[in-house]
C-alpha cells in the first residue's frame, strides 16, 4: 500500500471513529443524564449549533440538576463544573461567573453560565457553595 492510499485509509478510519464517538455522546444524552450531585458528574458538553444547544442540551442539564441562570443569586458561591475550577461566584453585573485559577500564580478569571455558550469553557452550577469553598480554592 502506497503512502497516499495509507493516508486515505487513515482518514476514513478517523472519520468513522469520530462518527461513532458522536453517536455514543448523543445516546448518552438521549438516555437521560444521571442526577448531578458532584462536579465530576457533569458530562462533557458537546459542541453543537446554538439552536440545538438551547433547545436540546440545556433543558437536559437543568433536568439533571444544573441550576438555571434565572435562579442565580448575585454574589453567591456555587459548586459546579468548569475546565479550570469547581467553585465560582455569580456576578450579576457582568452576567458571568468569577473564579480563581492558577496560571503563573492565582488570578481572577470569569466564564459564562452554560446557557450562554460563547465557544469557551462554561460553568455548570449544581449546588450552592460557601465562602469557605471559595477561600479554599486559593490556599
> Domain residue spans in the chain?
32-136
Q: Is the pLDDT of residue 1 over 80?
A: no
Beta strands in the chain (DSSP E): 77-81, 87-91, 96-102, 106-113, 122-128
- In tens, the pLDDT along 90-119 reads 999 999 999 998 888 888 899 999 999 888
Contact 91, 110 (CB under 8 A): yes
| Percent of the chain clearing pLDDT 90 (strictly above) | 55
Contact 88, 78 (CB under 8 A): yes
Hey, is 70 helix, strand or coil? helix
Contact 115, 54 (CB under 8 A): yes
Q: Averaged over 58-82, what is the pLDDT?
A: 96
Place 139 in a pLDDT band, splitting at 50, 70 and 90: low
Q: List the beta bridge partners of residue 127.
A: 79
| Residue of 66 and 121 predicted with greater confidence | 66
Is the pTM value of this prediction over 0.75?
A: yes
Amino acid at each position: 500500500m502506497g503512502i497516499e492510499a495509507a493516508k486515505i485509509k487513515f482518514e476514513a478510519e478517523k472519520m468513522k471513529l469520530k462518527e461513532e464517538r458522536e453517536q455514543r455522546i448523543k445516546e448518552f444524552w438521549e438516555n437521560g443524564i444521571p442526577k448531578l450531585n458532584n462536579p465530576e458528574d457533569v458530562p462533557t458538553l458537546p459542541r453543537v449549533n446554538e439552536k440545538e444547544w438551547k433547545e436540546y442540551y440545556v433543558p437536559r442539564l437543568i433536568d439533571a440538576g444544573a441550576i438555571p441562570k434565572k435562579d442565580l443569586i448575585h454574589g453567591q458561591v456555587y459548586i459546579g463544573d468548569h475546565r479550570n475550577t469547581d467553585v465560582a461566584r455569580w456576578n450579576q453585573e457582568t452576567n458571568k461567573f468569577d473564579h480563581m485559577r492558577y496560571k503563573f500564580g492565582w488570578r481572577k478569571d470569569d466564564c459564562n453560565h452554560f446557557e450562554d455558550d460563547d465557544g469557551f469553557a462554561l460553568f455548570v452550577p449544581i449546588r450552592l457553595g460557601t465562602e469557605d469553598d471559595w477561600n479554599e480554592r486559593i490556599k
